Structure 1
Amino acid sequence: MKPLFVLLGTFLIACIAFLLSKKNIDYRLAGRIAMASMLVFTAMGHFIYVEGMSAMIPSFLPFKKQLVFLTGVLEIIIGIFLLLPYYQNVTAWVLIVFLIVVLPANIYGASHHINYQTAIANGPGLAYLWFRIPLQIFFIIWVYISTNR
């Protein structure tokens, strides 16, 4: 839920800033700024909640902690590249694929009741997916709309 608030809050702030400075709003740029901010915010979790996020990765995958760090670094890099006009379209497709690829970790974590902050099996469980899967779709649509030329 927090990433959604970061996304929407940053979008609103960017729109207001555009309105005050330019008298017109560049919604697509505001959308990319908001997504980049959200990605940096979620990346912080990869470095703060390493144990819990590692527990969300299925057991057949090796190097769980390294994958958590790698995906955190990727989120930061993708966030930066979303803001570079020359790279925004390619980056958008990379981000869409990334959002699809990481969804199974959310499903695995939910099915095992993983609380990513504590690494304890007391999370919300499968009910969380009723929110998370539509949210992931929303993020994908957001990326597509804010980068489509």
Structure 2
Amino acid sequence: MKPLIVLLGTFIISITVLKLVRNTIDYRLAGRIAMAAMLTFTAIGHFVFIDGMKAIIPDFLPLKTEMVYATGILELVFAVALFYPNYSVLTGWALIIFFIAILPANIKAAMHHINYQTGATNGHGLTYLWFRVPLQAFFIAWVYLSTLKQVQ
């Protein structure tokens, strides 16, 4: 829920600032700014909640600590790359693949009631998937609209 609040809040602020500064609204730019803010926010969790993040990684994957750090760094790289026009298409597709790739971790967290902050089994459980899976699809659509869809 927090990433969604960061995404939408930053989007609204970006639209407002763009209107005040440029006297126009660039929804795609505001969308990329918002996605970059959200990715930065979620990346911080990879460095603050290491044990919890390790606990949600599917069991068959090795090097869990390294994977937590790597995905956090990758989110930061994506956040920066969103602002380089030459890389926007590549970044957009890479982010879509990334959002699909991390879905199993969210499914594991829900199935085993894992709290992503602590690693304890007092998380939200399966009802969380009713929110998380559509949210993941929303993030994918957001990336598509702000980086890949051609303006007509």
TM range (shorter): over 0.9
Q: How high is the TM-score relative to the length of structure 1?
A: 0.98
1:60 deviates by: 1.6
Q: Determine the structure 2 residue equivalent to 1:47.
A: 47
State the number of aligned residues.
149
1:91 deviates by: 0.3
1:133 and 1:19 map into 2 onto residues whose CA distance is 33
- 1:83-130: CA deviation from partner (whole Å, max 9, x where unpaired): 111111110000000000000010011101100111100101110000
1:14 and 1:39 map into 2 onto residues whose CA distance is 16
Q: Determine the structure 2 residue equivalent to 1:96.
A: 96
1:144 deviates by: 0.2
Q: How high is the TM-score relative to the length of structure 2?
A: 0.96
Secondary structure (helix, strand or coil) at the match of 1:120 reads: coil
Q: Which runs of 5+ in 2 are unaligned?
A: none
Q: After superposition, where does 1:1-149 map in structure 2 within 5 Å? A: 1-147=1-147, 148-149=149-150
Q: Which runs of 5+ in 1 are unaligned?
A: none
- Quote the RMSD (CA, aligned, Å): 0.6
- 1:9-43: CA deviation from partner (whole Å, max 9, x where unpaired): 11011100011011110000000000011000000
- 1:61-87: CA deviation from partner (whole Å, max 9, x where unpaired): 111011010000000001100111111
